[in-house]
Amino acid sequence: MKINALIIDDTDNVVTCVDEVSAGSEVCYRKGDEILSLKALEDIPYCHKIALKDFSEGDEVIKYGEMIGRTNTAVKKGGWLWDKNVYSVPRDYDSELVEVTGGKN
């Protein structure tokens, strides 16, 4: 089966399609030594993301092992995740600062 999608981090819940994918066709990606596949529920354009699980509204979308946004609607496994159904969440910068001890450098 031809690999037509890439996963970046093992914890990701999306993969990126590196070919056009038409509704009903198989999307295959390599995760470690395994080759996994799922069925596309809709057409997915080249370079776009497909859901690896059922997303409820507000669920975290994970790519690079990090949250890239949340869904603004439910998206089924095999659905297309794009800028119309994923939104960015503002940062909490204060929580990211670290304690600086001692003098400069």
Partner 1 sequence: MQFWGYKRSEGRAGIRNHVLILPTCVCGSETARIVASQVRGAVNIVFNTGCSDVQANTDMSQKVLTGFACNPNVYGVVIIGLGCETVGHKPLREKIQAMTSKPVVSFGIQEEGGTLKTIEKAVRAAREMASEAGRQQKELCDISELLLGIECGGSDATSGIASNPAVGELSDLLVDLGASTMMSESIEWIGGEHVLAKRAATPEIHNQIIEVCRNYEEHLKAAGQDCRAGQPTPGNKAGGLSTLDEKSLGCIRKGGTRPIVEVLEQAARPTKKGAVVMDTAGFDISSITSMAAGGCNAIIFTTGRGTPTGNAIVPVLKVTANARTYKAMEDNMDVDLSAIISGEKTYKEMGRELVDVIHDVCNGRMTKAEAYGFSDIAVDHVCRFV
Q: How far is the CB of 18 from partner 1 (least distance, A)?
A: 5
Q: For partner 1, how many residues bind (rule: CB under 8 A)?
A: 34
Q: How far is the CB of 52 from partner 1 (least distance, A)?
A: 15
**50, β-bridge pairs:** 15, 80
The radius of gyration of the chain's CA atoms, rounded to the nearest angstrom, is 17
Site mask for partner 1 (CB under 8 A), range 58-77, x = bound: ---x-xx-xxxx--------
Residues 6 or more apart whose CB falls under 8 angstroms from that of 56 comprise 71, 74
Q: Which of residues 3-62 bind partner 1 (CB under 8 A)?
A: 3, 6, 8, 16, 18, 45-49, 61
Residue that has been written with the tokens 């399609």 in this structure: 17
Regarding 91 and contact with partner 1 (CB under 8 A), the answer is yes
68 burial (CB, 10 Å; 0-12 / 13-18 / 19+) is: middle
Q: How far is the CB of 29 from partner 1 (least distance, A)?
A: 11
